[in-house]
């Protein structure tokens, strides 16, 4: 059995993709698979044809890997792969499209709006501020198609709007502006093979200087605490698990995903923030931790996904 681990090297999250790949390769080799690392670059098609892999695991976060592009190529070449298909990957990657679907499906998400880069050129700043005043401060401003809080700003004052937008537009032509919810950050790890289940919810307590679950808190050991199961009242806990599965299905995801949510302090209302179709699989990542809490070790998790994709369950 030959498994190709496709490694994203061109996005702003390439460092995390390489760390995920290292962890995945180690786990697969432990299970006895013949593993070949394949970079996602201009030689990808040639390398895939030469290696003749049986199944692909995509270790790529952000554009050129998590956005449906590589998935489409694998479909074209007839190579089975683990993870969501072209459409679900593209929808989840674009926060604007995923939020539109959440709204249609009555999945609660923070009140939001979006801007295109040309809006900064075609509209004066006062017009943009007028639009933003529909939302309640503080605000979260982020690129529509980036992860790991890259390009993110927590906006406390309207006066800082222009610089926050300019920062986000460095990473994307579209930007999402949403109300910042003060609450308990939780994540639902969805496992979708013969049936769709939600692993135990994880509560995240950032320890970074910003107090946010930012890039540093996510990927630096010791910079965040993970509590499993999340400390929620039972009815809230079960509702959050159900919402995680609902968001996963609403976007058409398959195999696995991680749904990030927040439980508002004052109301206990649950808001879905985003769905990650290729959750990180590094040594500090949430998804493997949730699987372990459910009773599935990481190498076994990968084997189960491979068996499902190849119809060997």
Query: Looking at the annotation, which residues are catalytic?
Result: 13, 148, 219, 258, 260, 274, 276, 280
- Residue 144 CA to residue 60 CA, distance in Å, equals 17
**Which DSSP category does 77 fall into?**
H
List the one residue out of 51, 59, 54 whose CA is nearest residue 33: 54
249 close to 196: Cβ distance less than 8 angstroms:
yes
**What string of DSSP letters covers 20-65?**
HHHHHHHHHHHTT-EEEEEEESTTHHHHHHHHT-SEEEEE--STTT
Secondary-structure breakdown of the chain: helix, strand, coil percentages, each rounded to the nearest 5:
40, 25, 35
Residues 6+ apart with CB under 8 A from 22: none
**Which DSSP category does 160 fall into?**
G
List the one residue out of 195, 155, 203 whose CA is nearest residue 175: 155
- Residue 168 CA to residue 221 CA, distance in Å, equals 26
259 close to 247: Cβ distance less than 8 angstroms:
yes
List the one residue out of 31, 13, 18, 17 whose CA is nearest residue 305: 31
CA distances for 19 relative to 5, 14, 48, 303, angstroms:
12, 9, 21, 19
- Residue 287 CA to residue 285 CA, distance in Å, equals 6
């Amino acid at each position: 059995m030959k498994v190709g681990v496709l490694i994203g090297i061109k996005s702003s999250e390439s460092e995390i993709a390489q760390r995920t790949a290292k962890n995945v390769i180690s786990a697969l080799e432990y299970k006895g698979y013949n593993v070949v690392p394949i970079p996602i670059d201009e030689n990808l098609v040639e390398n895939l044809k030469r290696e003749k892999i049986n199944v692909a695991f995509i270790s790529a976060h952000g554009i050129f890997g998590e956005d449906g592009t590589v998935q489409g190529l694998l479909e074209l070449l007839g190579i089975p792969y683990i993870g969501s298909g072209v459409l679900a990957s593209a929808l989840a990657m674009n926060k604007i499209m995923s939020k539109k679907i959440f709204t249609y499906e009555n999945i609660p998400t923070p009140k939001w709006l979006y801007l295109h880069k040309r809006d900064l050129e075609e509209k004066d700043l006062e017009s943009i501020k007028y639009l933003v005043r529909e939302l309640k401060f503080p605000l979260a401003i982020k690129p529509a198609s980036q992860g790991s809080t890259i390009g993110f700003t927590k906006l406390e004052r309207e006066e800082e709007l222009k610089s926050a937008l300019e920062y986000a537009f460095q990473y994307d032509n579209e930007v999402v502006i949403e109300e910042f919810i003060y609450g308990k950050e939780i994540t639902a790890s969805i496992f979708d093979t013969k049936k769709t289940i939600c692993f135990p919810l994880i509560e995240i307590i950032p320890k970074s200087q910003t107090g946010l679950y930012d890039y540093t808190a996510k990927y630096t050991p010791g910079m965040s605490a993970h509590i499993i199961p999340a400390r929620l009242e039972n009815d809230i806990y079960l509702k959050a698990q159900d919402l995680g599965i609902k968001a996963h299905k609403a976007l058409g995801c398959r195999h696995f995903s991680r749904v990030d949510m927040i439980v508002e302090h004052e109301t206990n209302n649950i808001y879905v923030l985003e769905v990650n179709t290729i959750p990180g699989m590094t040594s500090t990542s949430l998804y493997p931790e949730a699987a372990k809490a459910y009773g599935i070790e990481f190498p076994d998790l990968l084997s189960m996904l491979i068996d499902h994709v190849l119809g060997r369950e």
